[in-house]
Amino acid sequence: MYEPKTKVNDASVEKFLEDVPDEKKRKDSFVLLEMMRKATGKEPKMWGTSIVGFDSYHYRGKASEGDAGIAGFSPRKQSLTLYIMSGWEYHKDLLKKLGKHSLGKVCLYIKRLDDVDVAVLAELIDAAFSRSKRLIKKMNS
C-alpha cells in the first residue's frame, strides 16, 4: 500500500517560518499564517518539512488510505505556494480579482503578497476552505 511522504508532525511552525531566508517571504508567510488561521479556525501544523497545514481529513482509495491536509502553504524559493484540497478553479470570480498569480490543480502560486489584493486572497481562502469542508462531509456521508 502507498505510504505518503508528507505527514503531519510536531515540528514548530513558527521556527520553520522564522528560518525562511528571504525577509519579504518570511513576513508574507506570517501574514498568510494569520489569514489561514482565521479562515480555517484551526491551529497550524507542519506537514513534512516545508508545508504549514490547517486541518486534515482521512481518505480511503482503492490503492491507498491515509490523512491529508485540507489547506496549507509553503514559502518555496520561487513563490508562496498555497494548497487547498478542493482546488482553486471553482473560484474563478475571485481569481480574476486576485492579481498576479498562477495555478496548479490544488496549488495557487504567488510571488509575494504585494502582487495580489490581500482582501480578495482572504476571501478566496475562506471560500475554498468552506468548499473543501463541504466536499469532505459529502464524501463521508
Residues 116-139 pLDDT 10s: 999 999 999 999 999 999 999 988
Q: pLDDT tens across 26-50, in order?
A: 999 999 999 999 999 999 999 999 9
Sequence letter at residue 104:
G
Query: E-assigned strands of 50-106?
Result: 51-60, 65-75, 80-84, 102-103
Lowest mean pLDDT among 5-9, 54-58, 87-91, 113-117: 5-9
66 domain-assigned? yes
Residue 133, domain extent: 8-139
How many angstroms separate the CA atoms of 37 and 55, rounded? 10
Question: Quick check: is 1 in a domain?
Answer: no
CATH number at residue 12: 3.90.1150.200
Provide the whole-model pTM. 0.92
55 or 1: which leads in pLDDT: 55
As for how many domains the chain has, the answer is 1
